[in-house]
Amino acid sequence: MKIALVCSAGMSTSMLVKNMRQAAEQKGIEAEIDAYAEGELHQHMEDIQVILIGPQVRYLKQNIMEKAEPYGTAVDVIDTMAYGTMNGDKVLEQALQLA
């Protein structure tokens, strides 16, 4: 499974990506998790199953959903509390439920 986290520059989600990767490894889940700036997301759309958007850029959701629809990619905003605490386990669960 390939999961993409999106924020305006791809930087604020990098720590969360690390935590999600650790959670996936601990659970034995094979997942490729990467962070992208919204502007570069289109370059990776073909491979992604789930896109999670940083809460600070939730206004991008509709635009990203329109781009993701032809690929059948699930899109949602990351749970604000999980994002704020960088809870990789909880955000991974959110992605798995969307997939």
Please list the active-site residues: 7
Interacting residues of 43 by C-beta distance below 8 A, sequence separation 6+: none
Give the β-pairing of 2-7 and 50-53: parallel
Strand partners, 34: 4
Integer Cα distance of 30 and 45 in angstroms: 19
Contact present, 6 and 35 (Cβ < 8 Å): yes
Residues β-bridged to residue 76: 52
